[in-house]
A and B are shown apart, each in its own frame.
Chain A
Amino acid sequence: MTSKPDKTRRLTLIRHANAEQDSDVRDFERPLSRKGQGEASDMARRFQERGLVPDLILASAALRTRETAETFAKVLGVATRLLQADDSLYLADGDHIISTIRAVGPRINHLMVIGHNPGISAAAISLAPEAISADLPTCGTLTMTVSCATWNLIDRRCVRDTERDSPRRFFDFGN
């Protein structure tokens, strides 16, 4: 059996934007704050300016991650059917996030995953320790160019280049 050739793909990991801190609302239902809405719009526009448009967006099913994902989808012109909210990504740890990435089909070339700390940062640090060693800030992003035949082969050895960005202009990613 011959193995498939490596293919250059792109993976973007994003922490949700700033959310309301209303203690009367269940954590799962916390919406983005006004500040968070601005963060998501600003970051999505930066992706648009760089031509970084995902083929599929996976988000935790919590409201704040879905709202962040919907903002990216709207600004980037991604069809709503290519935005998937997944219950299992809610507060998921880094290993689960990477397992989810490995389950994505081979036709997706640019995958965007929107999740929560500490899991989303743990996944980023696991895959690209040279690019990040601190937790992502709200709406912080890490985009990696990866070289792998299929997503189920992704690990840190596949990562070629990384681009990190944050609404906080001088955020220290720790590297």
Chain B
Amino acid sequence: MGGWVDVGGRADLESSSRLEADVDGYRVRVVVVSGTLYAFEDRCTHDDSPFDDATIEDCEIICPRHGARFSLRDGQALSPPAYEPLRIFEVRESAGRIEIRT
């Protein structure tokens, strides 16, 4: 409890531009934006579905289905039709491995 979970290598993240893992029952996605790691639940809070091919702009993820935007920094829902914030996870890199705090 409260530990760090290894979700993959930095190289995997670089090659596929994202990592996905199940952490504590949540499907978590890790991305890099301007050199900073962000980890969040891969689920748009509006329609309860994965982001799939969502685009990321200015540290905001934009759901491709209805245009909901969320801040990757704090999970804040930034535009309708999403109102519930995105669940954000603490993430770090350690010896070339990406880890998420549970």
Contacts and interface: CB of A to CB of B under 8 A. Distances in A.
Given A88-B80, A103-B80, A82 B46 contact: no
Interface stretch (A13-21, A105-113, A117-125, A133-141): A105-113
Contacts, number: 39
Interface string A79-105: 001101010100000000000100111
B58 interface: no
Contact of B48 (A82, A100, A105): A105
A81 B99 CA distance: 25
B74 interface: yes
Contacts of B80: 86, 88, 100, 103
Interface of A: 55-56, 58, 81-82, 84, 86, 88, 100, 103-108, 150
A162 B77 CA distance: 29
B83 A81 contact: no
Interface residues of B, number: 15
Contacts of B75: 81
B76 A105 contact: no
B83 A84 contact: yes
Given A88-B80, A103-B80, A82 B85 contact: yes
B81 interface: yes
Nearest to A4: B48
A84 B82 CA distance: 10
Top-6 shortest CB links A-B: A103-B81, A105-B45, A84-B83, A105-B84, A81-B85, A106-B48
A19 B81 CA distance: 28
Interface in B56-86: 74-77, 80-85
A70 to B, nearest CB: 16
Nearest to A88: B80
Interface string B13-43: 0000000000000000000000000000000
